């Protein structure tokens, strides 16, 4: 079986983009820091994302939430069940109409489980330097911010791959 990408002697891959603005996905989907874990999980799942920037009410990135962050939270979460002396299932069943169920809601907010580190660049950053920064920091994505620190884009490893040409 032959590879789709075959190296040609003396010819390497070239990055077409010259700036971060050319690499980034503008107007990225982001998660508010006060969103619940359930809301964040729905957002990531519905969009098929492995992670997303977390923003404050001003739109500035304050962290990143990844599926890994959610898995760690789920694994470390401890749920305590009320003991029978405080809870009589018969009393509770009378209050819940037939066909309904009671869900234990996790009220944990995104800001409590996100990775509270933001690596960002400005749109005018040189693309080659952006790629070097991603490699050096060993990150999958960088936030792109404007002069006031508001999130305007995200550069993922996939965005970089899209800009490579042989």
In a domain, 129, yes or no: yes
pLDDT of residue 148: 97
pLDDT along the chain (166 residues), means of 10: 51 90 96 96 94 97 95 80 54 63 80 96 97 96 97 96 90
Give the domain range for residue 118. Answer: 15-165
pLDDT of residue 2: 45
pLDDT of residue 110: 97
In a domain, 6, yes or no: no
CA dist 17 and 163 (Å) reads: 6
CATH of the domain at 132: 3.10.580.10
In a domain, 2, yes or no: no
Count: domains in the chain: 1
pLDDT of residue 74: 86
Q: Is the pTM here over 0.75, yes or no?
A: yes
pLDDT of residue 10: 60
φ/ψ of residue 149, rounded to 5: 85, 10
In a domain, 161, yes or no: yes
In a domain, 5, yes or no: no
């Amino acid at each position: 079986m032959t590879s789709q990408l075959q190296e040609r002697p003396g010819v390497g891959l070239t990055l077409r983009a010259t700036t971060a603005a050319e690499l980034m996905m503008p107007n990225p989907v982001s998660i508010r820091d006060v969103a619940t874990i359930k809301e964040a999980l729905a957002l990531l799942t519905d969009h098929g994302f492995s992670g997303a920037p977390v923003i404050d009410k001003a739109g500035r990135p304050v962290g990143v939430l990844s599926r890994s962050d959610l898995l760690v939270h789920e694994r470390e979460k401890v749920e305590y069940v009320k003991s029978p002396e405080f809870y009589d299932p018969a009393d509770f069943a009378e209050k819940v109409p037939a066909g309904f169920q009671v869900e234990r809601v996790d009220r944990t907010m995104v800001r409590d489980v996100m990775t509270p580190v933001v690596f960002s660049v400005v749109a005018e950053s040189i693309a080659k330097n952006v790629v070097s920064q991603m490699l050096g920091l060993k990150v999958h994505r960088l936030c792109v911010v404007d002069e006031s620190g508001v999130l305007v884009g995200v550069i993922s490893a996939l965005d970089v791959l899209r800009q490579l040409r042989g």
